Amino acid sequence: MAARMKSTLTMVVIGGILGILGTARPVQAEALTIAASHSLKPAFQEIVPMFEKEYGVTVQALYGPSHTLRHQVEQGAPIDVFLPESVEDIDRLEKKGLIKGKPRTYAASSLVLVMSAASLATPISFHEAFPDRDTRVAVVDPKTSAVGAMTARVLHKINPTFKAGSNFIFGEHTEDVVNFVDTGKADAGIVHRVDAIGNGRMRIIDEAPFGKQISVQFEQAIVSTCREESRTAAREFMDFLVSPRIQKLLLKYGFDAMPSDRHS
């Protein structure tokens, strides 16, 4: 009798637990929103799904010109991790108290001059391209993106009296520049090396001088708009990008080896 009661009680307890589990709502995956420059899109199309699978986090990636994305953070857009194409955008947010924790450098690149792979024109150099008003050069607008501002600094170093003339075609971001060159709207363009590597439509014809003086570093930071429930996932994503296997993957996409972290 006692054994039968014990068995019955056990079944009741087990049944109760199963009932609770059966009616409980499934655990929802964490959500993370990252805002990244267009140069990161090809690599992130492979990296983000890897992170989602391994960490159980749903990632929404927003791609755009760095300045535009920074303005969205400043205006309170629900962004958790900011990944612009230069350290300047991170610095500006940091000065306004809109960065949470320490920014981290995770990759580097350089500026290159590109032409269409199908073009039969004679390749030119940085020094040759800009005095020649017949050469149409596509660049990123300094007002919309950090790569545009960096391009302007390089051109002023080559020629302190440089002024963009009518032969310059401005795009909002590097994808615009690539498209201008690819469609023949421009004879050459200036982009990050990472935007040209692996792009069968482009060929690199010159690399910007002063590479060591004008560093092209990619940084990431958790921003003030990061939701409390996304903080852990945000830190995990930043650690993920600097892990050895992801660093190796970034090299495959044309990034340079990660420099020393300037914030360490």
Spell out the domains of the chain, with CATH numbers in brackets: 31-108+217-252 (3.40.190.10), 111-207 (3.40.190.10)
Mean pLDDT of the 169-175 span: 88
pLDDT digits over 127-162, tens only? 776 666 678 899 998 887 778 888 888 888 877 766
C-alpha to C-alpha distance for 111 and 134, rounded to whole angstroms = 22
Name the phi and psi angles at 202, rounded to 5: -115, 155
Going by pLDDT thresholds of 50, 70 and 90, the confidence category of residue 259 is low
At 62 the pLDDT is 96
pLDDT digits over 200-257, tens only? 888 999 988 755 455 578 899 999 999 999 999 999 999 999 999 999 999 998 888 7
Beta strand ranges found along 141-235 (DSSP E): 168-171, 188-192, 202-207, 216-223
Q: What angle do CA 39, 42, 250 make, to 5 degrees?
A: 80
Q: Is 183 helix (H, G, I), strand (E, B) or coil?
A: coil
* Nearest residue to 89 (alpha-carbon basis) of 98, 76, 80: 98
pLDDT at 186 over 90: yes
Percent of the chain with pLDDT over 90: 45
C-alpha to C-alpha distance for 181 and 188, rounded to whole angstroms = 6
Name the phi and psi angles at 108, rounded to 5: -145, 160
At 232 the pLDDT is 96
The CA-atom distances, in angstroms, between 76 and each of 30, 62, 71, 227, 258 are: 20, 15, 9, 11, 30
What count of Cα atoms within 13 Å lies in the side-chain half-sphere of residue 151? 31
pLDDT digits over 6-48, tens only? 444 444 444 444 444 444 433 445 799 999 988 899 999 999 9
Q: Is residue 224 within 8 Å of 73, Cβ to Cβ?
A: yes
Q: With the C-alpha atoms ordered 224, 66, 260, 40, is the resulting torsion angle positive or negative?
A: positive
Q: With the C-alpha atoms ordered 153, 155, 160, 166, is the resulting torsion angle positive or negative?
A: negative
Q: Give this prediction's pTM.
A: 0.75
pLDDT digits over 199-212, tens only? 788 899 998 875 54
At 197 the pLDDT is 83
Count the residues in the chain.
264
Residue 53: CB atoms within 10 A of its CB come to: 9
Among 14-23, 63-72, 74-83, 89-98, whose mean pLDDT is lowest?
14-23
